[in-house]
Amino acid sequence: MEVCACTEEVEVLVFGSVIVDFVAYAERLPKAGETLHGHKFMTGYGGKGANQCVAAARQGAKTAMIAKVRLGDDSWGSNYLQQLRKENVNVDFVEQCQGEILVCQFETPLNATLDALNAFEGISILNAAPALVATPPELIKAATIFCVNETEAALTTGCEAISKLEHAKVGLHKLLEMGAKNVIITLGALGAVYATSADPHKFIHVPVGKVPKVVDTTGAGDAFIGALAYNMARFSSLPWHQLIGAANQVAAYSVQHPGTQASFPTGQVNKGVEYAWKEF
């Protein structure tokens, strides 16, 4: 694979998947073996890597995407590239540049993800989704930040379902024991929690404001990751609770709107707000 030089400064570099979503709507979920008539069909731009990259770009980050798209008789791949360019995402292969944030997920081959994490010299965020029952420990150890939601944290650690802060504390502690340098667990309406290997007995909760109405939670985690990457690239001197709090707000905005990338805000949400936090 040839790598071309950066044509512009890049703050957030995403190595991940670029996928077109095909969504069928029906009155209910089908039973096993049952066929249902749908009443609505939509396509949308998705893939965890592309979602996170677009979320960061809409916040204002200078982003670049490393991925594969289809090259064939149909137009899906070329259309997606055009869409990413409209979102101001650099779709050229780029060299590593000091100060970038690398974002990875589990929709790409694990060996390629591990190689990318090991080769990268800046801050890296590994979003362990889709979650694995037995996540290779070298992947957990390779990233600067290991970020999962409550379901993924429970599956990765083998802990009970995480529905309370005390459960989250167990998950944080377990992931640090598994070799993670820094851990963030997103908790939906509860916000997010984090802990670091530098201070493994200190657990921080960053709450999120109440959402008036939840419309669609699809892509909220990707919105959080993209916003987190943007804030870490632009405001690295701020404390983590500020960076995570800002990402919480972007995710909260996302769940109030339909679709995946369509639900991501353009520009920062609640810019300049001081976000609350507490030890738990």
Is 74 labeled as catalytic in the residue annotation? no
Four-residue CA torsion sign, 273, 53, 51, 54: positive
* Structure letter (DSSP) for residue 129: -
Angstrom distances, CA of residue 270 to CA of 249, 250, 253, 260: 8, 9, 10, 21
Q: Of residues 21, 74, 92, 222, which has the active-site annotation?
A: 222
**Nearest by Cα to 270 from 208, 216, 219:** 208
Angstrom distances, CA of residue 85 to CA of 3, 195, 214: 19, 36, 30
Mention every residue, 6+ apart, whose C-beta is less than 8 A from residue 268.
Answer: 59, 60, 246
Alpha-carbon gap, residue 260 to 135, rounded angstroms: 26
Tokens encoding 106: 């589990």
Catalytic site positions:
222
